[in-house]
Amino acid sequence: MARKLLQTGLYFIGIAAVLIGSAIALLGIETVGRFFTSFINLAVDAGPLTDLGQPNDDSELRFYSVFFVAYGIVLVQTAGNLARHGHRVPILLGLFFAGGIVRLLSLLTIGTPHALFLMLLGFELLLPPLLYICWRQARDA
């Protein structure tokens, strides 16, 4: 059970990283941000997502999106062959968790972001510890 949850979680994060990173690279952060905000606004009135289309921000995020795609590919590859690549799991989960920590640092030092980024923060801080527990259980089984 733990192994299946681990694989599912790794696939989920990996495929999301590939799709989101590719969309940011090709369409830009403003388009991608508006797309995801439209879904959040169906559940809660989070308001519009603003200030993402600035040239410097867009350029920087398109650059980093390539690394997000690469990260997603490694996650999918790892999920597909845990017997061979399972040793990567703590590092990959640690990177995802570190992303949540620096997002939290931004919240604490700059201010509260849009609800979209708060939702992402929740995923980044909750999924890695849960998947790490699954990895430990699957490894020890």
- 124-139, pLDDT tens digit by residue? 999 999 999 999 999 8
Is 35:104 a contact under the CB 8 Å cutoff?
Answer: no
User: Which residues lie closer than 8 Å to 72 by C-beta, 6 or more apart?
Assistant: 13, 14, 15, 16, 17, 18, 19, 21
Q: Which of 43-52, 70-79, 93-102, 114-123 has the lowest mean pLDDT?
A: 43-52
CA distances from 97 to 3, 73, 83, 91 (A): 20, 17, 23, 10
Question: What pLDDT, on a 0 to 100 scale, did the predictor assign at position 40?
Answer: 86
Q: Kindly tell me if the per-residue pLDDT of 107 is higher than 90.
A: yes
Cα–Cα distance between 71 and 64 in angstroms, integer? 11
User: Which pLDDT tens digit goes with each residue over 45-88?
Assistant: 888 888 887 899 999 999 999 999 999 999 999 999 999 999 99
Encoding tokens for residue 85? 């690549």
DSSP per-residue codes, 44-83: S------S---HHHHHHHHHHHHHHHHHHHHHHHHHHTHH
